[in-house]
Amino acid sequence: MLAYFRKTCGNRLTRFGWRRVTVLQKYDSATMSSLEIVLYPHPALRWKSKEVSRIDAELRVMVGQMFELMYAARGIGLAANQVGLPYRLFVINPTGDKDEKDQEFVFINPQITRRNGSETDEEGCLSLPEVFGPVTRATKIIVDAFDLDGQQFELELEDLPARVVQHEYDHVEGVMFTDRVASAELQKLQPQINDFESQFRNRQKEGLLPSDAQLMATLLELQNARTQ
């Protein structure tokens, strides 16, 4: 067991309301059917996401799809930003094994309240496939968040789970792991990163992807639908 619950608070996120607008409901449904992992430099990866203001059936479907996408891509963590959703939430399973359900954790509106120690290890990212670089992270953290039932929890994590949570937490802040790779090491990765950049821009030029302005307008609309 890699993690344990230290305490459970009685706060329920659902009390923040169930506000819903018909237009946004349609929009949500359209979005949910088409979730996919976005690649660098999609603007969602640079979006500082806002807190989710309600947990409902649609959000649970989104989270379920995020787990499916994460397992299909052989990942151990996936942030909402990485599927083009500008929400402060991420999912992890440090084992990467979809049968190990007790290792699945959903972090909604997470906060890392304590960081201790320091360790450098190699990281990769599903939004920058095949790019790996050394990142220094805290060895131990305390994180609190809400789960899918709107229940607040606090976890003390160390080693790999702590690293995964710090990586995913960075995503909801709009930070990529490559931002934390030291410049000498980053130089070695730069050609691969540049390839992702040019592929993305070419797809936009060919009309296969919306422009950054259009993508950001969508992010803003999604943000307005589910945050304060």
Name the site residues for Zn ion (rule: CB under 5 A): 125
**What residue is closest to Zn ion based on CB?**
125
> Would you say 125 or 162 has its CB closer to Zn ion?
125
Neighbours of 183 (CB within 10 A): 7
Coil/strand/helix, residue 104: coil
| Buried b or exposed e, range 64-96, using 16+ CB within 10 angstroms | ebbbebbbeeebbbbbbbbbbbbbbbbbbbbee
Q: Of all helices (H) and strands (E), which one includes residue 190?
A: helix 183-205
The least distance separating Zn ion from the CB of residue 181, rounded to whole angstroms, comes to: 13
> Would you say 55 or 86 has its CB closer to Zn ion?
86
Which of 100, 119, 123, 168 is an active site residue? 168
**Got the DSSP string for 69-98?**
HHHHTT-SEEEGGGGT--BSEEEE-TT--T
The least distance separating Zn ion from the CB of residue 168, rounded to whole angstroms, comes to: 7
> Would you say 135 or 225 has its CB closer to Zn ion?
135
Question: Which parts of the chain are beta strand (E)?
Answer: 4-12, 77-79, 89-92, 105-116, 119-125, 128-137, 140-146, 151-158
Number of helical (H) and strand (E) elements in the chain, helices listed first = 5, 8
> Would you say 125 or 141 has its CB closer to Zn ion?
125
The least distance separating Zn ion from the CB of residue 21, rounded to whole angstroms, comes to: 32
The least distance separating Zn ion from the CB of residue 217, rounded to whole angstroms, comes to: 24
The least distance separating Zn ion from the CB of residue 77, rounded to whole angstroms, comes to: 7
**Residues 113 and 201: beta-carbon distance below 8 Å:** no
Known catalytic membership, residue 168: yes
What sign results for the dihedral spanned by CA atoms 118, 93, 87, 113? Answer: negative
Q: Which residues are catalytic?
A: 168
